[in-house]
Structure 1
Amino acid sequence: MAKINKQVSSLILLLLLVICWSGNLTLRQRLTGLSGDVSVRYVEGAGVSPAQVSRAVRYGKEDGNDSFPELTLWREKRNQPLSDGTFRSGIADVLEFFGDGGSLMPVSMSRGSLPAKGDFQGCAVSKDVAQSLWGSGDVLGKTLVYNGVSYTVRGVFEGCKNLVFVQGGADDEDLYPALLLTFTEGGSNMVEDARNFMTRYSLPIGDILDMSLLLWLVNFLSALPAAVLVIWLVYRLLRQCFRLRFTPLLFIAFLVLAGGAIFLSAWAGNLMGLPQNLIPTKWSDFDYWGKLFQNSSNSLGTALRLSLTARDMQVWSAALTGTLLSVTGAVLSVPMVRRLRARSLNGLGLGCGIWFAAAFGASLFSGAVGGVSQNRGFWLAVPAILISLYAVGLFESHLTFNEKGGIG
């Protein structure tokens, strides 16, 4: 009975770790799409109009600017009355944008797509808005009436409640209070790049937000379960090395084994290398990290000071939830591996097989709800640790056998 209870608890730990790790990586990928750009915010009554953006794009083409960023304007209007043009009506938040709506707020489309740039007669609705107005999710081609204007539904999306996307017109002179710049090549100082770009093309400059520091922190924390496992493995290996310090040949042999185990586990855990945005673009750019930290920390402070938009709420929700899942996964990782640790080759194969099966199931579920494929660390970190522990266990059992046989 005790053995069955141990197996059940081991399986529960494994499933919880898989869920936390997979969920964290999915949220990290979503945050990557939300935080890899530079956004500009304006005070009430100020902003940039689609007409200004259209002129800047035209001037950029005339200049032959190959690194011209993608520009997307947006504004949010809460609790707006909507109707289907007949007798049904409802209330929803409306995100009016000009440019690429997908870069503003990545959503999982169940049908159709977001209205393309220039499609100022098209809209996209969340699934609950479609159910509220038409009683169905199959509403492509239906007419939505908002602010006295009729729009044709181009797509239905999931993941956001009571939200409607509406594309603005290229000649619109109305000011939008938020601008998103997506640079084709990330520079060492995207805040400065954004300011120089806006000055060059006569666009007003507001509060410029670069969330790359937040993205780096979330990327770092997403590797926390694998990092904890590798650190724990290093600790166990150092203890064994200390025991063998007076036997040089065994010490050297174990050191080679330990080095291979650490290298394999670190590689499998995807812990090697620096994130691309932390690598200086110039050999002599000694101020790179200082500027990056200063600009990013200032941007985080500004973002916390400004009123939260729906996009901001997605960013912070993904960051906080992903951090919680990553920390929980790190706490669960060592107890799970200790329970799953194999004493035989068959046990090692079974343990690795159980992990791969659970990881495959989580990957399928993530894909079904609009997630992404998981990285190498998610798939290989635990099997690599199990293999390393098995190899170390064989070495230790050999030492024990020799000691008992008087050969040590």
Structure 2
Amino acid sequence: MKKYVRGALRAVCLLAVLFLYVSAQQQAEKLAACNRTALILMERSPLTGSRVEEMQKAEEEQEQPREFTAWSQKNGVEIKNENLARSHTVAAVAVCGRSDLVLEGTARLDGDDREGCLIDENTAEKLFGNTNVTGLPVEIAGEEKIIRGILYDAEDTVLYEADKEEEFPYLTVTTDGSTSYEKLRQDFMARHALEGSFVRMDTLGRILGLLVLLIPLIVVCRAGGHCLRQAWEYRREWAGALLLAAAVLCMVCFCVLAVGQIQIPADMIPTKWSDSGFWSDFVEKERQSLLLLLLTEKQKPLQSFVEGFYLGAGESLTAVILALKIKIL
């Protein structure tokens, strides 16, 4: 009886490891969507809407223009549905540029749509009782807006295009995927004479990707090690050859998985391999960027990103502990 109980418990633990791995992998994929953006903190010298428009025109003249969006957030803003006499308190995110670079939704606001807004599902339920609210009017801080769509991965949030007098302490900039963050920082910030802190958005995603990769690594190593021990024990029989082949297959499968997931950023490739200070400088910049991201006041566009990292990291570490504790075979 105890043998069956142990077997059932082992099966449950293996299923839990698989479930946690899939869930953590999904969080890593969400974070990977931010790998092509950078955040510039302009809290000491925020940009005005007029200044942002000047920067956009200057970018259009570049050979490889960068898309960017300036944004700000105000907490405790009241949004109302006058027809049903309902109201709700939200965080209001004002943007100047493409809204999907800050928060994604079922629709996208551009710089010329100052009459529209996007709200989250919870706010839609509070104000209208359902989420089929596209085209309906709401009042935000005394100003009427038309709902264009629903926001993803946001709660108690409204997003709208701001006017030229608004000040923006945050700037989200896109990359083309091949340009290093350091080159982007030097080119973009120098071109527009920006004074602010540059935060790369791929660090947490890469850390989570490595944590997720630990799960199959441990499972494969333990299963492969068991197969190798059994292959040595039965080395004089045909079963030994099969077990050895199984161990090799486990390692090959992991290598294929690792090659597909591990990508070396352009920043990690030195221009000269003899540059001994490259790696120490790179690690210090990564550390500063990570600290800025984690210590910055959690605005709505960053909240789901950081929470996704913590959730994925917790799931990965839990799966690693389970994989180390249970008997794989």
Question: What range is the shorter-chain TM-score in?
Answer: 0.7 to 0.9
Which whole-Å CA distance do the structure 2 matches of 1:314 and 1:286 have between them?
40
State the shift of 1:254 in Å: 8.5
Q: 1:213 aligns with which of 203, 208, 213?
A: 203
After superposition, where does 1:69-84 map in structure 2 within 5 Å? 69-84=66-81
**Are residues 1:152 and 2:151 paired?**
no
State the shift of 1:71 in Å: 0.5
Tell me the amino acid that sits aligned with residue 316 of structure 1.
Answer: V
Tell me the amino acid that sits aligned with residue 194 of structure 1.
Answer: R
Q: 1:175 aligns with which of 167, 175, 194?
A: 167
Which whole-Å CA distance do the structure 1 matches of 2:320 and 2:52 have between them?
46
Q: 1:191 to 1:268 in 2, by over 3 A?
A: closer
Give per-residue Cα distances to partners, 1:149-198, cap 9 Å, x unaligned.
Answer: 211101123542211111224xx14320000111113433x145223312
**Are residues 1:199 and 2:190 paired?**
yes
Tell me the amino acid that sits aligned with residue 52 of structure 1.
Answer: R
Residue identity (%): 17
Give per-residue Cα distances to partners, 1:59-86, cap 9 Å, x unaligned.
Answer: 23323x22x2221111111110111234
3-state secondary structure, aligned to 1:119: coil
3-state secondary structure, aligned to 1:53: helix
Which whole-Å CA distance do the structure 2 matches of 1:42 and 1:196 have between them?
17
3-state secondary structure, aligned to 1:293: helix
Q: Which residue number corresponds to residue 310 of structure 2?
A: 320
Which whole-Å CA distance do the structure 2 matches of 1:311 and 1:333 have between them?
34
* Structure 2: unaligned runs, 5 residues or longer: none
After superposition, where does 1:3-402 map in structure 2 within 5 Å? 5-6=5-6, 8-34=8-34, 36-43=36-43, 46-63=45-62, 65-66=63-64, 68-86=65-83, 87-106=85-104, 109=105, 112-169=106-163, 172-188=164-180, 190-202=181-193, 204-236=194-226, 239=229, 257=245, 260-270=248-258, 274-277=262-265, 280=268, 284=272, 287=275, 289-333=279-323, 338=328, 341=329
3-state secondary structure, aligned to 1:185: coil
Which whole-Å CA distance do the structure 2 matches of 1:4 and 1:259 have between them?
26
Q: 1:273 to 1:3 in 2, by over 3 A?
A: closer
Q: 1:264 to 1:141 in 2, by over 3 A?
A: same
- Aligned residues: CA RMSD: 3.3
Q: TM-score, normalised by structure 1?
A: 0.69
Q: 1:82 to 1:197 in 2, by over 3 A?
A: same
Give per-residue Cα distances to partners, 1:186-216, cap 9 Å, x unaligned.
Answer: 433x1452233122133x2211112433222
Count of paired positions: 325
State the shift of 1:52 in Å: 2.2
Q: TM-score, normalised by structure 2?
A: 0.84
Q: 1:69 to 1:2 in 2, by over 3 A?
A: same
Q: 1:158 to 1:60 in 2, by over 3 A?
A: closer
Which whole-Å CA distance do the structure 1 matches of 2:55 and 2:95 have between them?
17
Give the conservation status (yes or no) of the 8 Å contact 1:34–1:105.
no
Q: Which moved more, 1:294-303 or 1:236-245?
A: 236-245
Which whole-Å CA distance do the structure 1 matches of 2:198 and 2:174 have between them?
13
Q: 1:286 to 1:177 in 2, by over 3 A?
A: farther
Tell me the amino acid that sits aligned with residue 222 of structure 1.
Answer: V
Larger fraction in helix: 1
* Structure 1: unaligned runs, 5 residues or longer: 342-408
Q: Which moved more, 1:84-93 or 1:8-17?
A: 8-17
